[in-house]
């Protein structure tokens, strides 16, 4: 059963998926640090996006890009990238949402 985490991660510099970034999407990092440990992405199991209405206009706005992935530590993680941080002073965009240990 996945446990709820909702903690920031720090992508490793130079590890972003350049092809995704060329399409205007956030590039999933192949390595990131979470809780002072480096994690390597070994498998991407699923990807999707979520949207919500913008202000009072009713127009839909892409909010998050999601990945369900496995790491070299035998963990299955659901991570996401926030398109625009809710609080401008918080520049953190990448988060672990859930974690499942094997």
Q: CA 50, CA 61: separation in Å to the nearest integer?
A: 9
Query: How far is Cα 54 from Cα 56, in angstroms, rounded to an integer?
Result: 6
pTM, entire model: 0.88
Domain, as residue range, for 51: 3-101
- Report which DSSP code applies to 86: S
> What total of structural domains would you count in the chain?
1
| pLDDT tens by residue, 2-24 | 999 999 999 999 999 999 998 98
What is the reported pLDDT for 88? 65
**Per residue in 64-81, pLDDT tens?**
999 999 999 999 999 999
Say what the pLDDT of residue 6 is: 94
């Amino acid at each position: 059963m996945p446990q709820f985490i909702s903690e920031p991660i720090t992508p490793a510099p130079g590890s972003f998926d350049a092809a995704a970034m060329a399409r205007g999407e956030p590039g999933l990092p192949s390595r990131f640090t979470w809780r002072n440990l480096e994690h390597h992405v070994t498998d991407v199991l699923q990807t999707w996006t979520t949207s919500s209405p913008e202000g009072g206009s009713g127009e839909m706005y892409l909010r998050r890009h999601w990945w369900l992935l496995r790491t070299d530590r035998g963990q299955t993680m659901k991570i996401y990238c926030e398109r625009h941080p809710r609080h401008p002073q918080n520049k953190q965009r990448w988060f672990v949402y859930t974690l499942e240990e094997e």
